[in-house]
Structure 1
Amino acid sequence: MKKTAENEKVHPLDAKLSMAHFYVAIIALALGGFAGLLQTLVRSGRMELPAGITYYQLLTVHGVLLALVLTTFFIIGFQLSAVSKTIGPFSTPSRIAGWIGFWTMTLGTVMAAVMVLLNEASVLYTFYAPLQAHPIFYGGLTLVIVGSWISGGALIAAYRKWKKNNRGQASPLLSFMAVVNTLLWIVATIGVAATVLFQILPWSLGWVDSINVLASRTLFWYFGHPLVYFWLLPAYMCWYVVIPIVIGGKIFSDSLARMSFILFLLFSIPVGLHHQLLEPGIDPTWKFLQVILTFIVVVPSLMTAFSLFGSFEQYGRSQGAQGIFGWFKMLPWGDARFTVPFIGMAAFIPAGAGGLVNASNQLNQVVHNTIWVTGHFHLTLATSVILTFFGISYWLVPHLTGHTLTKKLNKLAIIQGVFWAIGMSFMSGAMHIAGLLGAPRRSSYSTYGDSTQALDWIPYQIAQAVGGTILFIGIILYIIIFIQVAFFAPKGNEEFPVGEVTDKAEKTPLVFENWKLWLGITAALILFAYTIPFIDILQNAPPGSKGFKLW
């Protein structure tokens, strides 16, 4: 077989860049996870916070560090290593740009974190106006976004160089996926950058007295929903490309994988209004349109499930499996690289069902602003995505650092995944049930006191505390494994598993890499979904809410 970049290790200089991102991510996990544990204990009424620490300060620490910092740093680190692995080492200018992006993001993270710890920015990870934080907090978030753009630019530049040198060829699937997710992120973050730079930051600095709150929320959710897919697509990268070779099989279809990613690029951005179904000031027609577009995103998710289980069944049949589900027993349940992400895959089934509830205008009326939404969030991001990230790190970190995942660490990793599944079953399950009973989102025990209805929620708040405690044990186990495989495990050459496409698959059409076409359609869908409703928001803002003249 011809030797390609896919048969080699990630370049050592690129490995250092990726690991730098993972070190920041692990710190965010430790601090954000501890804040989450304290939250569940406070919410259950079994703990009072010391030293003047507020519940919403903890909530902001938890949300910002885990939903924004951990995910962004891990994803960029993973995608940089994936591109280096599959299309070759980065050039010196691209590598320098990657480091500039990393340090810019790190500086922004420190700025935002300091303000939160000083209780100058307890505005939650959505930082909804009229909640207001210190200007340094918003400046820090801006630097995180700008830094991610710089790193994304380095990744895209490496991809463009490969395409120039390999005209007429389909790019490696893993690099293609990384580029799609990077483009999705860049387009989506334009919305949050706009509201921070042109609305919230001038308002926080005192340059204007007020802002158009509905416009700021609309721009946030223009970003907020594709943010979910920015988290999810790296997990899909693992599921599509890595898991098949880990189990000993092959990728079911390269074309199907690329099509699903293109569909996510097209339909994950122009759907943010479904997060604002109960907000006045937006014409119901446009809400209805974006609900329809939201349900279209179900299609690539179903394609992914079909492809994954197709790979599983093909492998099982090749091993002599009989019957409808005989292949299930053939899967490598003793391999943490498979088992931990598989738990995440399984969790995505109820998580996806909950997402359909949230996106439905009628069903959303029942669960809107209840802790059901938080439970859904913990199934999607905190289970499906995070468990897959854990699974990725169990082979990627030792690969990048020159160590091995020993049998003992592999067993501990499976135990960690089981702990996570049990803890999340308690916590997310209790959140869903309490939400159906009307328990509010983002509220502590002291908020609702001893009312009759609140007493009905208390058992579920206690269950959340139990689940949160088990999850924190899972975090401790993960940190132990991470430190071991990064520094102390035996030296060796851990595989960076990149799957091959089955021989039965059709040839991949090059149209999937026609970026002018796909970015053009993306822009057209965004303009169609947002232009008229956003103009209406600006023209019909309530008196006194227009604030900054540009808006």
Structure 2
Amino acid sequence: MNNSTLLRVDKRDARLVMAHMYVAFAALAIGGLMGLLQVFVRSGRFELPANIGYYQVLTVHGVMLGLVFTTFFILGFQAAAVSRTSGTFTAKQRLTSWIGFWIMLLGTVMSATMILLNEATVLYTFYAPLQAHWIFYLGLTFIVVGSWFVIFAHMAKYAQWRKENKGESSPLLTYMVVANSLMWFVATLGVAAEVLLQLLPWSLGFIERVDVAITRTLFWYFGHALVYFWLLPAYMAWYVVIPKVIGGKIFSDSLARLSFILFLLFSIPVGIHHQLTEPGITEFWKFVQVVLTFMVIIPSLMTAFSMFATFELRGRELGGKGLFGWFHKLPWGDARFTVPFIGMAAFIPAGAGGIINASHQMNQVIHNTIWVTGHFHLTVATTVLLTFFGIAYWLIPHLTGRVLTPQMNKLAIIQAFTWAFGMTIMSGAMHWAGLLGAPRRSSYSTYGDAAQAMEWIPYQIAQAVGGTILFLGIIFVLIIFVNLCWFAPKGDEEFPIGEVDKDAEQTPKILENWKVWITVLVALILVAYAVPIMDIINGGPLGSKGFKLW
């Protein structure tokens, strides 16, 4: 079955995808408002009404944007991608996806309710010894389990395609969905174990205490892979959609698949690099995971090479001369290209900051400072978010049977530059203040010393200015979303799927041999985590009770 014959997402699948999008953009609105309140409070010029706590707002912001928006958007986009490239879901596959969606939505409502009641102010990462209400933890469990239903449906469609097209390479976009879904499933086993075996029994009073080191290690086993769960759908659009948008070709199918395999292998056994300052883990195992962390630089550079090769080849086809003449030939007036491209550009300083975060010595300078917050806002809140917005500008009208008008296209480009400007101010202030030692997750009112609070006021005012501009960008996005859902003219918007360059090399079949890659993944996880976890257990509360693993 050729990709070009599947021009539209089936209406039944489109309804499923749009359900995910409605939840995602509602979370964007709520989370964005909480972010605005956050920077206002941090500036020292604003107090929250009705005894609402600063950390309560911080938790809502993190959960709504970092978990709810991203998860619902990604799973919706992946469902559309599979339906478009591998064919309409069967009734059973679609039912499985709907079951997963409703379980996730129930979990979201449960967790959000507890946060709003100030019963789960646990700073998004829900670290022990901070404790939330058991309903919050059960809601998180529902979100994870619901997502498993959704990705199992995607994988089932992929398996069906392979069975019906023996010997052929699967559609590239579907292949990427499977790689990201597999990574998500393996990574969420860690947070599921943390919640089900430690935090939920603890919050219910079944156990008196938890092993804090174990909970943090299980969280970061999941937490760093979460970053790539956010990032890889953006890579899907970069590799497969953007070439079609600019009128070019996919530079290399093999390189694209290999980069996703490398992300799958090296995104999970690296979580300890978030725990470089923590006791209970020996320096050797920290070093091992730092080395594994740096391995993800390879697929990142592969992606940069592939994308800019695609851009240059297309630019020269259009008559671009000289070293950079091709650059001016790209379709800068098309929001489907320009908005994700700004996200790509942001990933250059974001990636450099990630190298600093993962480096044992340099991490000591910025650890637990607001630098880390600034880094997250460059990666997920700029690179990923702008790419997601760029996807939405063609995906939403494709699903709703409408078109992106020239007016909305212009507003989308204005939104992207507004976002880039606001983020440069806010994230720049966070990075600079972090280098000077400003603590993470702090506000004017949380400083014990007034003189110390005054020291950071200029940077916090800059963050408030940048955050206000970013909120204006969110308003623009919501206006476009509402227009594309209900008010844009009826029509046919393309779901752009690029074709591989005719001169590209043949894709090796081993890239689709999942038995090999899953075996390597399990081996890497065991090497990276088996001994550290046994050491933590032996030295923690369980070990003191005579329960030894080593």
Tell me the TM-score normalized by structure 1.
Answer: 0.98
Aligned partner letter, 1:155: H
Identity among equivalent positions (%) equals 69
Match of 1:189, as an amino acid?
T
Q: How far apart, in 1, do the equivalents of 2:5 and 2:358 lie? A: 40
CA distance in 2, matches of 1:301, 1:6: 32
Deviation at 1:44, TM superposition (A): 0.4
Shift of 1:320: 1.5
Counterpart in the other structure of 1:35: 34
2:52 and 2:469 map into 1 onto residues whose CA distance is 23
- Tell me the residue number matched to 2:58: 59
Cα distance in 2 for residues equivalent to 1:124 and 1:358? 20
Match in the other structure for 2:458: 459
CA distance in 2, matches of 1:482, 1:546: 56
* Alignment correspondent of 1:129: 128
Residue correspondence of structure 1 range 28-427 to structure 2 within 5 A: 28-427=27-426
- Letter in structure 2 aligned against 1:243: I
Q: Distance in 1 between matches of 2:455 and 2:114?
A: 36
Distance change >3 Å, CA 499–CA 5, structure 1 → 2: closer
Hey, which bits of structure 1, 4+ residues long, moved more than 2 A? 2-7, 449-456, 542-551
Distance in 2 of aligned mates of 1:450 and 1:407? 53
SS of residue in 1 equivalent to 2:456: helix
Match of 1:521 in 2: 520
Q: How far did residue 510 of structure 1 move? A: 1.3
Q: Distance in 1 between matches of 2:328 and 2:367?
A: 40
Residues in 1 aligned to 2:252 and 2:59: alpha-carbon distance in whole angstroms? 41
Shift of 1:25: 0.3
Say which SS state the counterpart of residue 155 (structure 2) adopts: helix
Aligned-partner Cα distance in 1 for 2:282–2:202: 27
Q: CA deviation at 1:456?
A: 2.8
Q: CA deviation at 1:457?
A: 1.6
Matches of 1:284 and 1:270, distance apart in 2: 16
Q: Deviations over 1:258-281 (max 9, x none)?
A: 000000000100000000000001
In 1: Cα distance, 2:100 partner to 2:544 partner: 36
> How far 1:525 sits from its partner (Å)?
0.3
Structure 1 CA distance for aligned equivalents of residues 119 and 337 of structure 2: 42
What is the distance in 1 between the residues matched to 2:74 and 2:247?
25
Whether contact under 8 Å (1:35, 1:58) holds in the other structure is yes
Give the CA deviation at 1:509. 1.1
2:538 touches 2:548 (CA, 8 Å); kept in 1? no
SS at match of 2:238: helix
CA distance in 2 between partners of 1:247 and 1:7 (Å): 20
- Tell me the SS of whatever aligns to 2:40: helix
Q: Which amino acid aligns with 1:127?
A: F
Whether contact under 8 Å (1:210, 1:547) holds in the other structure is no
Whether contact under 8 Å (2:537, 2:549) holds in the other structure is no
Deviation at 1:458, TM superposition (A): 1.0
Paired letter, 2:82: V
Q: Do the aligned residues in 2 keep the contact of 1:344 with 1:383 (CA within 8 Å)?
A: yes
Whether the 8 Å CA contact 2:538–2:544 is kept in 1: the answer is no
Q: Is the Cα contact below 8 Å between 1:195 and 1:216 reproduced in 2?
A: yes
CA-based RMSD of the aligned residues comes to 1.6
Quick one: distance in 2 between partners of 1:44 and 1:367? Answer: 21
**Structure 1: segments with no counterpart, 5+ residues:** none
1:504 Cα deviation after fit: 1.1
Change beyond 3 A, Cα 1:331–1:70: same
Q: CA deviation at 1:448?
A: 1.7
Whole-Å Cα distance in 1 between the matches of residues 408 and 99 of structure 2?
A: 34
Shift of 1:450: 5.3
Q: Point out where structure 2 has 5 or more consecutive residues left out of the alignment.
A: none
- Whether the 8 Å CA contact 1:268–1:297 is kept in 2: the answer is yes
* Distance (Å, rounded) in 1 between the aligned partners of 2:257 and 2:459: 42
Q: 1-side partners of 2:243 and 2:355: how far apart?
A: 28
Please give the alpha-carbon distance, in whole angstroms, between the structure 1 residues aligned to 2:214 and 2:454. 38
- Equivalents in 2 of 1:46, 1:503: separation in Å? 60
In the TM superposition, what whole-angstrom CA distance separates every residue of 1:52-77 from its partner, at most 9, and x where no partner exists? 10001000000000000000000000
Counterpart CA distance in 1 for 2:425 and 2:544 is: 42
Q: Distance between the aligned counterparts of 2:306 and 2:428, measured in 1?
A: 28
In the alignment, the residues of structure 2 paired with residue 543 and residue 371 of structure 1 have an alpha-carbon distance, to the nearest angstrom, of 34
Q: Which residue identity does 1:240 align to in structure 2?
A: Y
Q: Does 1:483 align with 2:490?
A: no
